[in-house]
Amino acid sequence: MDPFIAYSIPIQGLKIGIHQFKYTLDRDFFRHFEGSLIEEGRVEVEMQLDKRASLLVLDFVLTGYAQAACDRCTASINLPLYDERQLVVKYGDAAGDDDDEVVFISREASALQVAPYLFEFAILALPITNTYDCAADPNPPCNFEVLKFLEDNADKSKSNSVWDALNGLK
């Protein structure tokens, strides 16, 4: 059975106008993509599909979290995710048109599979650095032993820098 059947939109029988869809992306969803950067997490997706005679306009709003190791203290944290994306689906052939936000499908296509786009948008919503705002949380998941170790070594490295040794050669 196709694990992405729930993410297939039957566009042939869909009337012209605006349609709302909601999806939940979780561990079961992300495990179907090889090498996924998200293994654990939960992303809620609200999708608005505007079907027109010659194209489809899909607006996505993603909110949720992905579990990751903090770049500062290595503790397991829930990275907050939020993103808004738009995808335009045109009928016809993509002859010479290369655009990340425009997809071409044939007029005879009976359904549109949105799972690959949901996965891509969730990955693009990941922040560049995996850090947690410890000050905003009264009970942060931080590994305080690692943070203290880093603070202590930062102080030592400032006073024992290579430049201090070179300045002594004058």
pLDDT digits 0-9 by tens, 91-123: 887 655 556 778 898 888 899 999 999 999 999
Sign of CA dihedral 80, 83, 89, 94: negative
Mean pLDDT for the chain? Answer: 86
Rounded Cα distance, 84 and 69, in Å:
25
- Whole-structure pTM value: 0.80
pLDDT, tens only, 22-55: 999 999 999 999 999 999 999 999 999 999 988 9
What letter would DSSP give residue 13?
A: S
- pLDDT band at residue 1 under the 50/70/90 scheme: low
Evaluate if residue 168 carries a pLDDT over 70: no
Flag whether pLDDT at 169 surpasses 80: no
Dump strand ranges (E) for 5-54. Answer: 8-9, 17-25, 41-51
Listed residue (64, 102, 56) closest to 83, CA to CA? 64
